[in-house]
Amino acid sequence: MEERQIRRSRISNLSFEERLNVLYRHASQLGGAESIEEIAKHTLDAMEATIGVDTHDFFVVRGGILLRVETRGGAPMGRMWMPLDGPGITVKAVNMMRTMLVPDVREEPAYLEALAIGPGGEPLRTLSELAVPVITDGKVVAVLNTESIMLNALNEQDKELLETLARQAASAISRLRYEERLKGLHQHASQLGIAESIEQVAEYTLDAMETTLGLEICDFAILQEDRLQSILERGRDRAILSRTQAWKALHTTSSILVPDTREEPAYVDAEIIGENGVKLEILSELSVPVVADGEAVAVLSVESPRLNAFNEQDKELLETLAGHVGSAISRLARTREVRELAYRLNSLKPGGCYLSQSHERCLKAYADLTMHGVPGLCIVREDPGRLVENYGLKAEEIMLLSSRPLKGFEALPDLQAISLAVSRLLKSGGGVVLLDGLEYLITSFSFDAVFSFIKEKRFDFLEADAVLLVPIDMETLSSRERALLSSELSILE
């Protein structure tokens, strides 16, 4: 008790300007805080040095509760958290978004009585209280609370000091959350580096928008034939989109932030059906263009039924994500160009099925395509180790045309097993299949069974834009068999 009285006496002898300077010296440490706990510590240090009362608390808002992070001046006997729909002066400060200066808590209906134990074990019963909300982006994120066992212990100067400190804490929390979101954004964006299609790019992008940025109604649209085509949406069941702002962002290659769509002349209302089936009126919107190789090719859009739902921080983070998306789209375009060249150099077309008398020709074409990122399946009747060593094939893509596995390589004993393996590849997005050992299959299961298998699979390859390579010694076939195979498969010289 004596220590607190000495501190209270020292603080009471300071002028308001002197207390303000002390507060700024302590609050300057908030700029280096790396966690909410550090922010609470530095904030309470400043409160203890400038507000000469008994106890100080730092609360944060988590969902529907107010959670006490740290206390100074006494050990609280009450709960460490309070529901935001219940009583309490700090809760009232959150809900009303304003400072609560209470000279006598006995006259405040919202007061929730709670005892604390002082450093000397003495009970502390609060008689006056000051609770100041910490507000960022129009939301209360924390509360600075100070209490005294004396009536009228807190005044307007204390209120002004604590409100100044609350603004400093708000800035620190805002910076910390921005850094956390940016870090999470880069972690999600790393997935874009392995995306193999524009659909995967859209999926990873909206994952980042939802989980990292906390955006609820999201849309990924790309430019196709002079119109914006939505690839993926989140947060709504159905939408009739005008895309006015998205088009504007695309054509100007500049982000468009609309805090209130009712005041935006260019905005055209769109019907949005939320996930619960309720029609939503969109009141704010943010559209960010995606630029790839110097051209705007897509737009990331977020919408909200709340006014001023997005701020400059959201805009900056979404622009950062759009930069990652642009890089991913550029990479896909370059990969597609290289793959198209690999197809042309090997005289192949996606969706084609080819017959060749040259085993070497088929192996080299398969190796070239898979080297440029085309998924592959190589079904062979020879030593897989030789293919890996001589042609650089991936061991995991090789399967044996055999009744039993060898050296850890999976065996495909019959046409049904081959069909299932091929179907798995085609369903995963197409690719290239080398089917060696056709002579073995014909001997084991008859030409008619093998020919029927090829006829059925040919259209699967066509639909999946995949390539089938079949090496065979034509001299082992009758003229009828050669004619039938040639009618279904193109000859690869």
Sheet holding 123-125, edge to edge: 75-76, 115-117, 123-125
| pLDDT of amino acid 81 | 86
Under 8 Å between Cβ of 469 and 354: yes
CATH of 346-491, one of 3.40.250.10, 3.40.50.1820, 3.40.640.10, 3.40.50.300: 3.40.50.300
Break the chain into its structural domains and give their ranges: 2-176, 195-341, 346-491
| pLDDT of amino acid 79 | 55
Under 8 Å between Cβ of 480 and 345: no
Q: Does the global pTM surpass 0.85?
A: no
CATH topology of domain 195-341: Beta-Lactamase (3.30.450)
Structure tokens at 438: 């056709």
- Separation of alpha carbons 69 and 59, rounded Å: 6
**What is the dihedral sign for C-alpha 43, 44, 46, 50?**
positive
Please report, for residues 206, 232, 436, the alpha-carbon distance to residue 392 in angstroms, rounded to integers and kept in the order given.
36, 37, 17
Structure tokens at 311: 């701020």
Under 8 Å between Cβ of 438 and 405: no
Structure tokens at 467: 């390539």
360 DSSP assignment: H
Identical fold for domains 2-176 and 346-491, yes or no, is: no
Strand, coil or helix: what is 78?
coil
Under 8 Å between Cβ of 279 and 272: yes
Contacts of 172 (CB under 8 A, 6+ apart): 30, 31, 33, 39, 42
| pLDDT of amino acid 121 | 64
Q: Is it true that domain 2-176 has CATH number 3.30.450.40?
A: yes
Residues of the chain with pLDDT under 70: 1-9, 74-79, 115-123, 236-243, 266-278, 280
Under 8 Å between Cβ of 433 and 466: yes
- Separation of alpha carbons 233 and 270, rounded Å: 15
Q: Classify residue 447 by burial, with Cβ atoms within 10 Å: 0-12, 13-18, 19+.
A: middle
Tokens 């009228």 correspond to: 152
According to DSSP H, which parts of 214-311 are helical?
244-252
- Separation of alpha carbons 321 and 185, rounded Å: 7
- Separation of alpha carbons 273 and 283, rounded Å: 14
Structure tokens at 118: 């002082």
Strand, coil or helix: what is 301?
strand
- Separation of alpha carbons 85 and 295, rounded Å: 50
Per-residue pLDDT tens digits for 273-282: 555 666 768 8
Under 8 Å between Cβ of 453 and 485: no
Helices (H) and strands (E) in the chain, counts: 14, 23
